[in-house]
Structure 1
Amino acid sequence: MNTLYIDCVSGIAGDMMLSALVDAGANEETIISQLNTLPIDHFHMSFDNVVKMGISSKYLQLDVHDHGHAHDHSHSHDHNHSHEHGHDHVHRTAKDIFHLIEQSELSERVKERSIAVFTAIAHAEGTIHGMNPDDVHFHEVGAMDSIIDIIGICIALEDLNIDQIISSPVPTGSGKLHMAHGLYPIPAPATTELLKSIPLAPLEAKGELTTPTGAGILKALASSFGQVPEGIISAIGYGAGKKDFPKHPNVMRVLVMNDVPKHRERLVISQCQVDDMTGEALGFALERLFEHEIFDAYYTPVYMKKNRPGVLITVISKPGQAQVVEQTLLKETSTLGVRQSTATRNPMKRTMETLDTPLGAINVKHASTEDGIVKKSYEYEDLKRAANEHHLSLQQVIEATYDWERENSKK
């Protein structure tokens, strides 16, 4: 298993991350050629070798040609956002960007990771500006150079065959920042929203060390935060920001590591209790929750204060979905508040196989662990269809499928 450890020495920003991945061995030509298949503004990208306080690093030079005009976007997002507002870009909504990625020819994992990052940022911006995440205009993080950074990073992760991402705690910087709406505190509001549930690190530095793009990458893609994991380092990369600081090098570092034990996946558990909702209303709320990409949601009967019978609603989701889960619970139930806690899980590796049985096609899910535990289950909807079509009981279909599978495995 290949693991990327992100060492946020001086925070994290999109361009620094992409530069660090290229420095660690991600193929520059692969990144550029795959980006060029997308319907985005023409751009020129190169990675310069620079030295920051004695550390040899890569530095991203990005020129975006917007409506026939070339703009120099070589400023680091990490410490100078001015370039993101000085140009007359077409501001895409989150929905536009999701569509652009979904319709592309990028690999499935690149699409999945890119959409996860934009989803996290859209929810944060939506919360700050009080609007639907789909309608968020990515004026702070969706200028064309940031779209290139985020998708470029996901292409680089795939080129390095990264399976999981672990990050150090994150320094944010301090002071004030000129943004589209005026003078804002550092970290910026969207960055702060994204950093909820992510451990922060102290570092005395005036300026923006972690940007919304950087925080979005960590929120969506990092499975855990902490020290360097056990394992073998196979490659190291340094990505440089534009600014120089008096007391520390303005770089971020990535370590590509092999033979790292799989880290447990982070989850968020959202809960609330109600004692004044009808069964129909509770059923409707559950349907609304399952419209989002959650792992599970369920009801538990509980006795509340004054011995009132009530219902405990529990929703298990990825950290990036926690915000929309909370909003759904507040909107669709009578609760006055939602509790959220973090947990971890160790999911078994899953694969799907289609069995072409005499009763029709039946999908079977195989699950396994690295230490040899193996489980399988037949897809319920396929069993149900076969039972209805052949006028059999569910148990008869299960037994017939099992017998057929066992007979065919001998051949």
Structure 2
Amino acid sequence: MAHLHLDLFSGIAGDMLLSALTDAGAPLDPLREALARLDLPVSVDVEEVSHCGIRALHLVVEAPEEQPARNLPEITALLDRSGIPTRARDRAIAAFRELAVAEAEIHGTTVDKVHFHEVGALDSITDLMGCALALELLGVDTISSRSVPLGSGMVTCEHGRMPIPAPATALLARGMPVANPPVPGELTTPTGATMLKAWVSEWRDQPPGYDTVGTGAGTRRYIDHPNLLRVFLDSHGSHPWKSERISKLETWVDDVPGDVVAHLLSLALSEGALDAAAVPAAMKKGRSGHAITILARPADAERLARLMFRETGTLGIRHGVIERWILPRRQGTVETPWGTVRVKWAMVAPRDERPDPEHDDCAELARRHSVPLSTIRNAAIEAARQD
């Protein structure tokens, strides 16, 4: 289960990522063969360059400057004819679809009617298809990334002179952790943003582990800042879990009855909280109170904070973004002598799954058959281990 981490300290563009993946070991010949099958007037190569004394690879794509605008069905048809592996094709289409959704919102039209201009050009198609193919050749299953520097200043695009981020990039980057730009200019392009949107499943500052580093260079050069993108490849997967950033909301109250606290926790969970808990606390002046904590997706944090203010009357809520680790899991059912029980299996290590029977199912069977709960639970665990 190979994992790839993106270090976007100078932003991301399609050529930078493909250069870095090539430096990490992905060959370019399969991409050249796919382009040849499409009979497209484009060539691709890499050159070794140095940015601020750091060696990197830089992608060189040669394609005609004047090209027709293409829509999503046309690009999908190209990818279908390219002969690249199914997962690579699906990854590329997912990235183009995310961009089409953003462009449709910008232009007030539908996804299939959107015509790509900059990203529909042959060099951008080559970048996106090439990156998707390189990920497949490296065996990448999951992708994480550090926060994204969008850039600053102005950029010229099909809409004219616009402030950075460009309109499509601004929409695609919604919900992503954004970093301050280290240098002026457009650091994250629409092509780069759509790949992040479609392919990145977790955001973290550092890679969880790696055995290979690839470095790709952008075209622009700065005096005292290397315009590079690094990828960290963990070919075998150092751990089974994934990580994600979530919001933590916390308030301590000493004037809220316990039944109101219980109501808040129940309401928060029904409104989309990931978890909610209250712990008894000894507070100032010896008063008894509760430390209330709600975990939520960042997009839900403000809505749940308003719920906490409303239900508790608290004057303040502490908020922070934390990282949590999640084991891969699957769900199913098992049969016991007393009936069917739902089970979750958590992968604690490769080829090592831990079953956890659904309590409500076990409790219902225990009541129905007058059997100890532990007997039902143990039977379900044993059946799950045989699954």
TM-score by length of 2: 0.64
- Report the alpha carbon displacement of residue 259 of structure 1 after superposing the two structures with TM: 2.8
Find the residue that maps to 1:256 and give its secondary structure: strand
Find the residue that maps to 2:155 and give its secondary structure: strand
- Report the alpha carbon displacement of residue 215 of structure 1 after superposing the two structures with TM: 0.5
Worse-superposed segment, 254-263 or 55-64? 254-263
Alignment size in residue pairs: 276
**How far does the alpha carbon of each residue in 1:235-277 deviate from its partner, in whole angstroms, 9 at most, with x for none?**
1111111111233101111111243334448799xxxxxxxxx
**Distance in 1 between residues matched to 2:237 and 2:325, nearest whole Å:** 21
**How far does the alpha carbon of each residue in 1:285-307 deviate from its partner, in whole angstroms, 9 at most, with x for none?**
xxxxxxxxxxxxxxxxxxxxxxx
**How far does the alpha carbon of each residue in 1:33-67 deviate from its partner, in whole angstroms, 9 at most, with x for none?**
23333x25221111000000011011111112xxx
Larger Rg: 2
Aligned residue in 2 for 1:384: none
Find the residue that maps to 1:215 and give its secondary structure: helix
Aligned residue in 2 for 1:139: 117
Q: Let me know the Cα RMSD of the aligned residues.
A: 3.3
Aligned residue in 2 for 1:373: 353
Written as runs of structure 1 = structure 2, the 5 A alignment for 1:299-378 is: 347-348=328-329, 369-371=347-349, 372-373=352-353
**TM-aligned CA distance change 1:188 to 1:263, over 3 Å:** farther
Q: Is the 8 A contact 2:147 2:179 kept in 1?
A: yes
Q: Is the 8 A contact 2:329 2:347 kept in 1?
A: yes
**Distance in 2 between residues matched to 1:263 and 1:214, nearest whole Å:** 26
**TM-aligned CA distance change 1:156 to 1:205, over 3 Å:** same
**TM-aligned CA distance change 1:54 to 1:126, over 3 Å:** same
Find the residue that maps to 2:211 and give its secondary structure: strand
Aligned residue in 1 for 2:319: none
Find the residue that maps to 2:89 and give its secondary structure: helix
Aligned residue in 2 for 1:52: 51
Written as runs of structure 1 = structure 2, the 5 A alignment for 1:263-274 is: 263-264=241-242
**How far does the alpha carbon of each residue in 1:165-188 deviate from its partner, in whole angstroms, 9 at most, with x for none?**
010101111111111221111110
Aligned residue in 2 for 1:21: 21
**Distance in 2 between residues matched to 1:347 and 1:212, nearest whole Å:** 31
The AA in structure 1 aligned to 2:329 is M
Q: Is the 8 A contact 2:240 2:347 kept in 1?
A: no
Aligned residue in 1 for 2:74: 96
Q: Is the 8 A contact 2:331 2:345 kept in 1?
A: yes
Aligned residue in 1 for 2:154: 176
Find the residue that maps to 2:231 and give its secondary structure: strand
Q: Which runs of 5+ in 2 are unaligned?
A: 247-269, 273-298, 300-323, 333-343, 356-382
**Distance in 2 between residues matched to 1:6 and 1:246, nearest whole Å:** 23
Aligned residue in 1 for 2:306: none
Q: Is the 8 A contact 2:17 2:131 kept in 1?
A: yes
**Distance in 2 between residues matched to 1:344 and 1:135, nearest whole Å:** 40
Q: Is the 8 A contact 1:35 1:151 kept in 2?
A: no
Aligned residue in 2 for 1:235: 212
Find the residue that maps to 2:30 and give its secondary structure: helix
Q: Is the 8 A contact 1:174 1:206 kept in 2?
A: yes
Q: Is the 8 A contact 2:10 2:228 kept in 1?
A: yes
Q: Which runs of 5+ in 1 are unaligned?
A: 65-70, 72-86, 269-311, 315-321, 323-342, 352-365, 376-405
**How far does the alpha carbon of each residue in 1:203-225 deviate from its partner, in whole angstroms, 9 at most, with x for none?**
24221100000011111101111
The AA in structure 1 aligned to 2:42 is F
The AA in structure 1 aligned to 2:214 is G
TM-score by length of 1: 0.60
The AA in structure 1 aligned to 2:45 is S
**Distance in 2 between residues matched to 1:167 and 1:26, nearest whole Å:** 19
Find the residue that maps to 1:255 and give its secondary structure: strand
Aligned residue in 1 for 2:32: 32
